[in-house]
Amino acid sequence: MRLLLTLGLVISLSVTAQDARETDTSLRGVANSLLVQALESRVLALQVPVGDPLSIKPVSPVAQAVGSFYEQRGYQPVWTDPVRLQALIEALEGLVADGLEPEDYSVTFLRQMHDQLQIDRQPPASEQVEWELLATNAYLRALYHLFNGKVNPAGLDPQWNFELNELSPLVVAGLMNEGVESSRIADIFAQTRPQHPAYASLKAGLARYRQLAAAGGWPSLPAGPTLKPCMIDPQVSFLRQRLLATGDYLPVSPHEQDEAVAKCIAANSASAQASSAASSEGDASADAVVTSVAASTDSSSASSSSAAPVNSDEVFDEYLVAAVKQFQRDQYLDDDGAIGPATRAALNVSAQSRVDQIRVNLDRARWLLHNIPDDLLLVDIAGFKITYFKGGKEAWRSRVQVGMSYRTTPVFKSEVNYITLNPTWTVPPTILRKDILPKLRKDLNYLREHNIRVLDSNGKQLDPATIDWNRPGNVTLRQDAGPDAALGKAVIRFPNPYSVYLHDTPHQKLFNKSQRAFSSGCIRVERALELVDLLLSENPDWNSSRIALASGKTRNVTLVKRVPIMLAYWTVDAVSESKVAFKPDIYARDGAVLAALNQRVNQPLLSVITE
């Protein structure tokens, strides 16, 4: 009897538990159905424009992508699954490697949301819908930022004319669902960021310099006189440590360093003896030599010729000189091997500042590095160089001179469509007003010396002496073609609203400068005729163009095949897979990009969807 009662109780309890599970499942099904309905209603509402019918803006691509995403899923919620949400959180946290800030994507809130799901807390459907859309929006925003950058370049540069790559809402929704179904959202992010090797190099550089910054960076060189080869000075030890920290200096063997130190001591001793002999003879010319030697040799280096021990780390030996010269070349400084004010300033830029500089250029890379054409003429404005890519490979490279800081070379893209051989030069209004008119008011011979003619609005030549150059009116100055003409022997032209072009130049010596911001906005090209030859190589009549070039007559030659050209600005070079090099910010543009990059996105993110 007792056994039967016990069995009855067990059966009764089992039935009760099963009923409870079925009831719970039923309730969950009802709750999920309500959530689906609420989510569908909210998402569909986002697809309906609001406002004055006469001024309604079209539904944004972002809202369309959200709609497509949930439509493809039958409006089933995504982020109620803790595994999926965790995959999203981890992928968003990984964006720090791209120089982005995870908090722009509500990571803290998403973690709190994940914690609530872990303890099976179910908020009301309306609140859950907002949670759902916030997580989806974070996912979507990250995709857009990886594809086109966080910062809007058009908002910083009114000359910007690069069209950012469009992400079709349907394509975005498909990518999002692919990541959701596989719980491999990080892989979707990897597909979305630029695939160009330069981007990977910048990411590696960012990781490396973040490690350096976290470890305390590097020692700064205190202010002092210029350090020159073979000087012996405590600052040389700081210099060695500084270059060692960034891998710009690689230690040599003790034997090699001892030999290098001995060479410097011998050189210093010889200089000191020459100085002493010249002083005793009272030779005036020798005094000049002494002055020169004194400038390049620290007083301590002279005493080092005695038997007193020398700290080899404080000797500016040949291996350290070689490292300094390479650093200077990387920084677009004169590679004289000496530590003057400019090199000292570059060495003393902090590790954290370099981290910020790389982050800025990663965002620039996201603006530019998608769908680069195989044939491309690329002007690196801050790097003072031009590269012609043919079939995706570098075919030609040369140095350029770009616009001065107050007459900057604009950033834009176009297509080279024709070339002018033996060009005349029509003086632009700005150059006429600011440069030439002040000279003409002093001396009209300037026009004759530079083969410049004065024309009226109908192209009729005027006598310069009959013009009031304080009020010249509507006149045009045009320089004839010739060996000393401002545009040299060729102009490479492409449509743009800035009257900017590439051209040959008689100012060849300026190409030897390390920083070459000398022009009024156009790009002066070293060995420009080599580039002309490459660009016209597909023209069947190029031989006749060569004859025209030799004749000195002005002629326009249309390219059979237009060549895309990009004038771009960036301040970090991807030297290799593991090395980056920093350039001067010649137009002071990094600061504005960094400020915009660091500006936190307003929370919640739903405003992006409803805009």
CA distance 359 to 167: 23
Q: Is the peptide bond before 604 cis (omega within 30 degrees of 0)?
A: yes
Helix (H) or strand (E) holding 399: strand 393-403
Please pick, among 145, 264, 450, 503, the residue that the annotation labels catalytic. Answer: 503
Task: Tell me if 557 sits within 8 A of 539, measured CB to CB.
Answer: yes
Our answer to whether residue 522 is catalytic in this structure is: yes
> Which CA distances in Å does 108 have to 176, 189, 397, 603, 605?
21, 20, 48, 11, 13
CA 528 to chain centre: 26
Eight-state DSSP code of residue 365: H
Helix (H) or strand (E) holding 30: helix 2-46
Regarding beta strands 452-455 and 461-462, do their DSSP bridges make them parallel or antiparallel, or are they unpaired?
antiparallel
Q: Which residues pair with 198 in a beta bridge?
A: none
Eight-state DSSP code of residue 558: E
Q: Which residues pair with 403 in a beta bridge?
A: 519
Our answer to whether residue 503 is catalytic in this structure is: yes
CA distance 218 to 601: 33
- Selection from 339, 263, 336, 275 nearest residue 302 by Cα: 275
What angle separates helix 318-330 from helix 234-245, to the nearest 10 degrees?
50
- Selection from 194, 197, 184 nearest residue 86 by Cα: 184
Q: Is the peptide bond before 49 cis (omega within 30 degrees of 0)?
A: no
Task: Tell me if 352 sits within 8 A of 213, measured CB to CB.
Answer: yes
DSSP assignment of 57-82 equals PPPPHHHHHHHHHHHHTTT--STTSH
**Length of the chain (residues):** 611
Residues with a known catalytic role: 503, 522
